[in-house]
Amino acid sequence: MPADLVIVANRLPVDRVPLPDGGWEWKPSPGGLVAALEPVMRANDGTWVGWPGGPVEDADPSELEPFDADGLHLVPVGLTAEEIELFYEGFANGTIWPIYHDLVAKPEFHREWWDSYVRVNEQYAAKAAEVAAEGATVWVHDYQLQLVPQMLRDLRPDLRIGFYLHIPFPPAELFAQLPWRRQILEGLLGADLVGFQLPGGAANFVRLVRQRVGYKTHRDLVYLPDGRTVRAAAFPISIDVAGFEELVHDESVRARAAAIREALGGPRKIFLGIDRLDYTKGIYARLRAYAELVEAGELDVEEAVFVQVAVPSRERVEQYRLLRDEIDRLVGRINGDLGRIGRPAISYLHNSYPRAEMAALYTAADIMVVTPFRDGMNLVAKEYVACRVHDDGALVLSEFAGAAAELRQAWLVNPYDINGMKAALLEAYHADEKDLTRRMKAMRRTIQRHDVAAWADSFLTELAEVAPHTKSPRQARGR
Ligand code: G6P
């Protein structure tokens, strides 16, 4: 059935994972995008277009038919092994990802990666055009699909099109390195509304459009020669706050949190990091800072432990493989040098966990450490705050995560400054209850006021205002 609201994202919310016996299973997809959008889609009865993971050559043709999973309508886009290599691992994650994250790693520019990016974006646009009802709203997501808005508009001028970028949008000086900068800006301008995490991203975009495409702009508006107006604005993303609070009140999650504490050595204070294993996340520097504190005797392995969960990610991309080896070596060295029997300095888990286990970890942790070098938002920081229903626990947060703009009461750190991070870790460790409560209360108020439903509502309401010529979707709160 044609849909009135269509989400287009690189990934479906479920990932088809092969099993050792030759079969396969569906697992929740990694990352903040899926975590944020899933509740919005549930509330909307929308259709989600995306890649189910894995190469199309390994899939049974029936798996590429639209299907329903867990109340969601899913429309798969099949990618070939070559497209995964050139479009996904190549252009999306080897070119755009590092440029948009402040060049934390060196981007590569290859024309065949770009060609594949164009072809794959065409496929997503064609699929969205096929499933969208007359006058529907189509909401395109993230850096993998920046050409889809204009491609879709060419195919279906009747649609209302929104685009949202989940990662940072870089300053003009970095973006300008891209040999295909103009095509990307024009692709995005196919949308009626282009959303960013922070006002700075929106301002970078408008400035680039003026400089590089030559269109007239005024504040957050771009005036196109065909008479259309495009708006660029910030919509900081959030999480399903009530959903996490409910989980934390669940008896089994509370029991699991207690079991985790027990397994880690009872009264030992728990520092926690949870990240996709990505070079933007600053895992190496953070663990070094912690190890130096143990080495200097400022922290004692009998009294504290650092739990680092690293969720496997983009494992075939060279830079991610190297990072994994570096972290493996560092953790081995730290534990070898500083651990005692039954008392590792760092408890390291290379795995992904369901939401309930994450909620148990957040509940068990005393100090959450989120120190990316650059991050669009970082939903882990917000999830931790959502789970601290007793207004306790400390958050150490990088000032270069989008979340720092809202979670001002965290211990804010510069992740490049190891000594600064060490001081913040110690302060958070020694903070008194009153200070912790004051900070956590304020942060909880912030995220409760602004949850993921409010985020989706504000984007879709704004989209309806800039493109009033088409129908309005039902919105996240079912209004
Ligand atoms: C970030 C990106 C998402 C991406 C996710 C997981 O959250 O913004 O677009 O889906 O990471 O990365 P992956 O490459 O596994 O899809």
Q: Whose CA is nearest to atom 8 of ligand 1?
A: 166
What does the pLDDT look like over 323-362, one tens digit per residue?
999 999 999 999 999 999 999 999 999 999 999 999 999 9
What does the pLDDT look like over 413-460, one tens digit per residue?
999 999 999 999 999 999 999 999 999 999 999 999 999 999 999 999
Q: What is the mean pLDDT of residues 118-136?
A: 97
Q: What is the mean pLDDT of residues 55-66?
A: 86
What does the pLDDT look like over 280-329, one tens digit per residue?
999 999 999 999 999 999 999 999 999 999 999 999 999 999 999 999 99
Q: How many Å lie between the centroid of ligand 1 and the Cα of residue 368? A: 22
What does the pLDDT look like over 154-204, one tens digit per residue?
999 999 999 999 999 999 999 999 999 999 999 999 999 999 999 999 999
- pLDDT value at 471 more than 90: no
Q: How many Å lie between the centroid of ligand 1 and the Cα of residue 339? A: 34
Q: What is the mean pLDDT of residues 237-259?
A: 97
Amino acid 472: pLDDT: 54
- pLDDT value at 215 more than 50: yes
Amino acid 207: pLDDT: 98
**DSSP characters over 110-171:** -HHHHHHHHHHHHHHHHHHHHHEEEEEEEEEESGGGTTHHHHHHHH-TTSEEEEE--S----
**Which ligand 1 atom lies nearest to the CA of residue 88?**
14
- pLDDT value at 473 more than 60: no
Q: How many Å lie between the centroid of ligand 1 and the Cα of residue 30? A: 7
Is 32 near ligand 1, meaning CB less than 6 Å away?
Answer: yes
Residues in Cβ contact with 369 at an 8 Å cutoff, skipping those fewer than 6 apart: 271, 272, 273, 286, 290, 306, 396, 425
Is 374 near ligand 1, meaning CB less than 6 Å away?
Answer: no
Is 30 near ligand 1, meaning CB less than 6 Å away?
Answer: yes
Sketch out the chain's domains with CATH numbers. Answer: 3-237+453-466 (3.40.50.2000), 241-448 (3.40.50.2000)
Amino acid 32: pLDDT: 73
Instruction: With cut-offs at 50, 70 and 90, classify the pLDDT of residue 479.
Output: very low
Instruction: With cut-offs at 50, 70 and 90, classify the pLDDT of residue 18.
Output: confident
Specify burial of residue 331 (Cβ count, 10 A radius: 0-12, 13-18, 19+). buried
Of 96, 8, 90, which Cα lies nearest the Cα of 51? 8
3-state secondary structure of 47: strand
| Residue 19, number of CB atoms within 10 A of its CB | 8
Q: How many Å lie between the centroid of ligand 1 and the Cα of residue 278? A: 10
Specify burial of residue 324 (Cβ count, 10 A radius: 0-12, 13-18, 19+). middle
Amino acid 71: pLDDT: 77
- pLDDT value at 89 more than 90: yes
Is 162 near ligand 1, meaning CB less than 6 Å away?
Answer: no
Amino acid 476: pLDDT: 39
Rounded percentage of the chain residues whose pLDDT exceeds 90: 86
Q: Whose CA is nearest to atom 11 of ligand 1?
A: 31
**Which ligand 1 atom lies nearest to the CA of residue 166?**
8
Amino acid 88: pLDDT: 98
Q: How many Å lie between the centroid of ligand 1 and the Cα of residue 408? A: 26
Q: How many Å lie between the centroid of ligand 1 and the Cα of residue 31? A: 5
Strands across the sheet containing 411-413: 346-350, 304-311, 269-276, 367-370, 394-398, 411-413
Is 166 near ligand 1, meaning CB less than 6 Å away?
Answer: yes
Q: How many Å lie between the centroid of ligand 1 and the Cα of residue 14? A: 13
Q: How many Å lie between the centroid of ligand 1 and the Cα of residue 34? A: 8
Q: How many Å lie between the centroid of ligand 1 and the Cα of residue 24? A: 21
What does the pLDDT look like over 338-347, one tens digit per residue?
999 999 999 9
Of 160, 167, 129, 150, which Cα lies nearest the Cα of 49? 129
Q: How many Å lie between the centroid of ligand 1 and the Cα of residue 228? A: 31
- pLDDT value at 474 more than 70: no
DSSP structural state of residue 45: T
Q: Which residue has the higher pLDDT, 54 or 16?
A: 54
**Which ligand 1 atom lies nearest to the CA of residue 143?**
9
Amino acid 35: pLDDT: 79
Amino acid 128: pLDDT: 98
Q: What is the mean pLDDT of residues 11-29?
A: 84
Rounded percentage of the chain residues whose pLDDT exceeds 70: 98
Q: Which H helix or E strand runs over 217?
A: strand 216-218
Q: How many Å lie between the centroid of ligand 1 and the Cα of residue 313? A: 9
- Structural contact between residues 50 and 10, judged by C-beta atoms closer than 8 angstroms: yes
**Which ligand 1 atom lies nearest to the CA of residue 32?**
7
Amino acid 477: pLDDT: 39
CA angle at 36 for the pair 94 and 391, rounded to the nearest 5°:
115
Pocket test for ligand 1, best of 85, 313, 317, 380 (most atoms within 8 A of CB): 313
Amino acid 59: pLDDT: 81
Is 269 near ligand 1, meaning CB less than 6 Å away?
Answer: no
Is 167 near ligand 1, meaning CB less than 6 Å away?
Answer: yes
What does the pLDDT look like over 66-83, one tens digit per residue?
998 877 899 999 999 999
**Which ligand 1 atom lies nearest to the CA of residue 34?**
10
Instruction: With cut-offs at 50, 70 and 90, classify the pLDDT of residue 470.
Output: low
Amino acid 26: pLDDT: 81
| Residue 262, number of CB atoms within 10 A of its CB | 10
Q: How many Å lie between the centroid of ligand 1 and the Cα of residue 12? A: 11
Instruction: With cut-offs at 50, 70 and 90, classify the pLDDT of residue 409.
Output: very high
Is 190 near ligand 1, meaning CB less than 6 Å away?
Answer: no
What is the average pLDDT value for the chain, to the nearest integer? 94
Of 63, 59, 89, which Cα lies nearest the Cα of 76? 63
Q: Which residue has the higher pLDDT, 144 or 63?
A: 144
| Residue 100, number of CB atoms within 10 A of its CB | 23
- Structural contact between residues 437 and 409, judged by C-beta atoms closer than 8 angstroms: no
